[in-house]
Amino acid sequence: MLSKNQIKFIKSLSQKKYRDESGCFLAEGNKLVADLLPYFDCELLLFEPSWLATQGNIKVSQLIKADSGEIDKVSLLKNPQQVLAVFKQPQYTLDFALLSEKLSLVLDSIQDPGNLGTIIRIADWFGIENIICSLETADVYNPKTIQATMGALARVKVHYTDLSAFLEQNKTLPVYGTFLNGEDIYTGNLTSEGLIVMGNEGNGISEKIEQFISKRLYIPNYPADQPTSESLNVAVATAITCAEFRRRQVYSC
């Protein structure tokens, strides 16, 4: 049975202040928790016995059996499932040596947690291991972001840093950015390594980051002369961009 302090702690993880103070994050759902357990240290696992029976050996600091009513009390979901877990936030080192000969994503002030979570999932699908976020980007450990990753966070490292200072250190990697006045992504030259910058939902890539872009890319609409939407959702644009980079890499071999 959960104590009052445990209930208070779990609920507090809906707020960034308390996630930062505790160094923890909350994950909910049968598959999501099962996917994350092998990769992150689990501080607390609240479960229904029928869920635990489907799992193998798991390593958890606190294992608490509960019924659906107890899970409902602390869940942030509209439709709670059979398990929720409190994990320790991992600590990663951001080093250009780790980024060489690879594609990485750079996010300039992405605001929506759902967009961020979807981008992490896209990165996982296309084998992108590192995402470098501006300090203004949404919190990766926001519960909405965690849910949207669908477990991809287990394989994608998310870093937060001052993007201008980070990009100033770059000496070798090409830096790509998506713009409405860039070169057609389907005809331009693309490399198998580099940094792909994706901008804010409303304003795109900021001026202070734009100066570091070495190649501007454009995702053309079809047909070109037909009126269309003003722009693409940033997560959709990220998926199209990553897919084209990987297509070139596969079919150029």
* Class of 96-251 in CATH: alpha beta
Question: What pLDDT was estimated at residue 185?
Answer: 97
Upstream peptide bond of 223 is cis (omega within 30 degrees of 0): yes
pTM: 0.94
Superfamily the domain 4-88 falls into: Ribosomal protein L30/S12 (3.30.1330.30)
**C-alpha closest to that of 63 among 82, 85, 41, 87:** 85
In the chain, what are the domain boundaries? Answer: 4-88, 96-251
pLDDT tens digits, the chain, 253 residues: what are they? 789 999 999 999 999 999 999 999 999 999 999 999 999 999 999 999 999 988 888 889 999 998 878 899 999 999 999 999 999 999 999 988 889 999 999 999 999 999 999 999 999 999 999 999 999 999 999 999 999 999 999 999 999 999 999 999 998 999 999 998 999 999 989 999 999 999 999 999 999 999 999 999 999 998 888 888 888 999 999 999 999 999 998 766 5
Which alpha helices (DSSP H) does the chain contain, by range?
A: 4-12, 16-22, 30-36, 49-52, 68-74, 96-99, 113-125, 143-149, 163-168, 207-210, 234-251
Question: What pLDDT was estimated at residue 251?
Answer: 67
